[in-house]
Amino acid sequence: MATRGPLNQRVGKNLRALRVSRGISQEALAHELEYDRTYLAGIERGERNLSLDTLSKLAEQLGVDPVELLAG
């Protein structure tokens, strides 16, 4: 699957950085959110379009404001 665009890439990069900085694996984060690990990996690669609900859930699980996932 090809990358979608700059915003998807930015969210993916920010998500990965926040996740790694907290020492959380993709699998652990996916499990907590009841998502498939491959879905989360696709988000981090910028291949997935997220709903605002998904963005909010990711931010909440990582303890950040959703804006931090969009910043860049």
Q: Is the pLDDT of residue 36 over 80?
A: yes
The predicted structure's pLDDT at residue 15: 98
Q: Is the pLDDT of residue 56 over 60?
A: yes
DSSP per residue over 23-72, as a string? T--HHHHHHHHT--HHHHHHHHTT-SPPPHHHHHHHHHHHTS-HHHHH--
Q: What's the CATH code of the domain at 22?
A: 1.10.260.40
What residue type is 37 in one-letter code? R
* pTM of structure: 0.90
Task: For residue 32, tell me if it sits in a domain.
Answer: yes
What 8-state DSSP symbol labels residue 64? S
| Number of compact structural domains in the chain | 1
Task: For residue 1, tell me if it sits in a domain.
Answer: no
Q: Tokens for 69? A: 């996932």
31: containing domain: 6-65
